[in-house]
Amino acid sequence: MGTPKFIRFFTSNNHIDSAPPGTIRDTLVNKSSGQQNGTANPVLRLFRRLLSGKIIDGGSRTEEEEKVYSWLYALAQSDKDLVFEYVRSTERGLSFTEAERRLRENGPNVPLQHSFPSWGHLLWNAFFHPFNIILIFLSAISYITSDNPNGCIMLVLVFISVSLRFYQEYSSSKAAMKLSEFVKCPVKVQRCAGRVVQTELVVQVDQRDVVPGDIVFFEPGDLFPGDVRLLTSKQLVVSQSSLTGESGITEKSADMKEDQSTPLLDLKNICFMGTSVISGSGIGLVVSTGSKTYMSTMFLALGKRKPSDDFERGIRRISYVLISLMLVVVTVIVLADYFTSGDVSESILFGISVASALTPQMLPLIVNTCLAKGALAMARDRCIVKSLTAIRDMGSMDVLCIDKTGTLTMNHAIVVNHLDSWGSPKEKVLCLAFLNAYFKTEQKYPLDDAILAYVYTNGFRFHPSKWRKLDEIPFDHTRRRVSVVVETEVSAKEKKIHLYERLVITKGALEEVIKTCSFIEDVDREEIIDFSMEDHQRILRMAEELSNDGLRVLGVAIKRLSMQTGDGSMLFDETVECNMVFLGFISFYDPPKDSAKQALWRLAEKGVKAKVLTGDTLSLAIRVCKEVGIRTTHVVTGPELELLSHNSFHETVKKATVLARLTPTQKLRVVQSLQTVGDHVVGFLGDGVNDSLALDAANVGISVDSGASIAKDFADIILLEKDLNVLVAGVEQGRLTFGNTMKYIKLSVIANLGSILSLLIATLCLGFEPLTPKQLLTQNFLYNFGQIAIPWDKMEEDYVKTPQTWSLKGLAMFTLWNGPVCSLCDITTILFVWFYYKSNAALDTRFFRSAWFIEGLLMQTLIFHLIRTEKIPFIQEVASWHVICSTVLISAFGIAIPYTPIGTALGLVPLPLSYFGFLVVLFLGYFSVGQLVKRAYILVYKKWLY
């Protein structure tokens, strides 16, 4: 619909010369944007954008992308003279003064202007956490009240937590700096100088200093310094793998005018920033630099699209809940203690001790220890973890998006078959293709190596020593074929002379080989016949069938030259490639890795679905996926996604298992759609520049050691082996880490809420402090010390079979079900000690505190064993030896304290044997009741630690 308006615009007189330099691009862009938006009123457009919120519209382009697309299409459809007018340049180039002015106006030529947060800002973010603030406040109070050991411990915990978080965020913030690698190269630019008589000069400037309107020269190996409209080209072949991910090459030509229906990256007269010249040369006009290039639309979202961390957000919410409850309860306890004792300072000190004891001080340390232990375990499995939180996300991951090349496949070709022109296997075709590859010396390609390897490994004896190479017509990207001229001696005993049979053997792209052929070999009659149109159509249909099966096809042709006597040689040129005989095809395939199918099956067993996101062709992707066991009933290509509406896009992405011919931006949108609409935790495995957007946006970005530098920088995990089995081990380790972290969190929430309730009841009912501040802090220290072993606990086998996700609602219900059981035991202890050991209507305060101290410590230590498993603890399921040792050590030390000088200093007294008998009965009852509550909870919610 927009094409007619563009044509009218370009053919009408719009007085471009009178427009300011910066307005021509805006005029073109705004016209196109207005046509596509369909809403002229800016207020309505703004209103619509506000209503859209943060919804990911994968079927349409962003406003920034639309501007870039419109500008480049306008230039691709225009004549060269008009292009110079659009960018306000001339055929002689810019003057040095004008170039400097434009550099000041447009800024450095870098694809992304990124402002990095200062270290002070990152340190403040790491420091500003509710638990850190509370711990520092309590530490200060502890120092004021001369409780130096407790204050020191809390400061150490804060220091470790802040240091770990600051280091992680500071390291990740520097990743975008690697974009500068794209702009560290000199560029040949034509500038004009002179006040009266201007002289054209070709100078080298840094890529950062290239501006729109510059005329640039390029040759093999050069990177394009911006988006370029070609002015002249000579056999120009460009690699766009940095943008598309495809290993193939693209021919470019200046002598073409494109139309709106051509995909952007297929435009022949436009070259893009970051792509490179493979062969040929040319001259181009820079039309966009810096943030206005197509590459900039890829990097525009870097660092801005990472999904929020549900785990960290949940931890923060729990923190606020616990702190709020703590403040309320501590206030009540301080007031109750004051009205009972009448001592303000003692009541405040007791309240501070209660607040310190009820704060889950070990939370940051335990969480980070779990993650660090997981990182070490993954390092042993050949995984380098850059972001510790990615380990936890690996355990929650339920969708893994992977590229095809090198991940599912071996990334090198093998010969599949060698067929004649009727589709039957024929050794002669292979023999001649082998001789072509064997004698070829210039520009060896992987396909040549594949032919040689196939012949050698399958026992063929083609005796290349009997042949002699006379000449070679090397491959170029215009002819797209290579020919060798070889000869072999023919026996002629009766004449006693040496005759040499000479052959021209041509191998290359099927269409180009067919152009050279006038004859075809008739297999049935074993004779050479004319190459008919029917033969041509039949061969193309066969090639299309092979291509649809994911195979790459090369044609093979031959021409017999006249017999020669002697060994004289001569030179040959391209004219010899005519009137040839078409022999057949050689087909190649990049086979899947032996381990890929097994790894994908293991991932599927663990609830991780695989989706293939590739820039390669759909047919090749489908073949590979079929061989490795990925369903191909729902497939889609990038151009098809562009045409979908908002809802259709998300529905298609949800169903599709193979998505081919994707641009980098489309990969990003697919990942975002799975995260937002599909509510999945998404991992993305990629190794190219074109994967950077998706790597940055995914919950878990995974790259490989051999990947592009920027891909590794934006990845959270780097694989030292490009093997999916390594990821399986990472998923298992992630779920183990997540499980142990959740054990501690649920333990802390239950224990803290139970303690809050128990202390409140005891203080209100007893009329005195159930524990002194020193006793409370000592109990808290021993309890926290015993929790250090939690990261070394094991997980049940069923737990690591399914993805694990954070649920704040699930944690709340878990606490409401299990928290009262702890308080019930504490209340039972109060009643038992009150009625059984009370004498003369009075309860010995020191005796009660000793009993409460031991019961509380044992309760908080043993509760972990009930929480950590769905099964019956100590009978059906036993914790790791680290946890068992920690439990025994802390329990034994707690029981022994009243009998030591430390206990005497704390005001504890020895307890009779009958009390320990009561504790045995109490904890047997606790585990029995707790197990009943556990079974009821599982019956209702169908899960336990999940």
- Annotated catalytic sites, by residue? 403
The DSSP secondary structure of 93-132, one letter per residue, reads -EEHHHHHHHHHHH----S---PPPPHHHHHHHHH--HHH
| Maximum distance among all Cα pairs of the chain, rounded to whole angstroms | 139
Residue 798, classified by CB atoms within 10 Å of its CB into exposed (0-12), middle (13-18) or buried (19+), is: exposed
Contacts of 718 by beta carbon, 8 Å cutoff, 6+ apart: 383, 384, 386, 702, 703, 704, 705, 707, 712
Q: For 569, how many CA atoms within 13 A lie in the half-sphere containing its CB? A: 11
Pseudo-torsion of CA 324, 325, 331, 337, nearest 10°?
-160
833 strand-pairing partners: none
Distance CA 670, CA 402 (A): 12
Calculate helix-pair angle for 344-358, 724-766, nearest 10 degrees. Answer: 160
Distance CA 869, CA 878 (A): 9
Give the integer Cα–Cα distance in Å for 629 and 595: 12
Q: How far is CA 359 from CA 731, 735, 755, 781, in A?
A: 32, 26, 11, 12
Taking the C-alpha atoms of residue 915 and residue 656, their distance in angstroms, rounded to an integer, is 65
Task: Report how far residue 854's alpha carbon sits from residue 833's, in angstroms, rounded to the nearest whole number.
Answer: 13
Name 712's Cβ contacts closer than 8 Å, sequence gap at least 6: 703, 705, 718
Q: Map residue 506 onto helix, strand or coil.
A: strand
State the SS3 of 15-29: CHHHCCCCHHHHHHH
Q: What is the DSSP letter of 92?
A: T
| E-assigned strand segments in 653-766 | 658-660, 682-685, 700-704, 717-719
CB 869 within 8 A of CB 883: no
Report which of 399, 401, 372 is spatially closest to residue 385, judged by C-alpha positions.
Answer: 372
* DSSP, res 275: -
- Integer Cα distance of 286 and 215 in angstroms: 6
**Identity at 556, one-letter amino acid code:** V
First to last CA, the chain: 53
Structure tokens at 586: 């050689």
Radius of gyration of the chain (CA): 37
Please name which of 369, 456, 355 lies closest in space to residue 157, comparing C-alpha atoms.
369
Contact between residue 138 and residue 145 where contact means Cβ atoms under 8 Å apart: no
CA distances from 406 to 147, 617, 810, 880 (A): 60, 15, 41, 39
- Identify how many contiguous H helices and E strands the chain contains and give both numbers: 33, 24
- For 257, phi then psi, to 5°, come to -120, 125
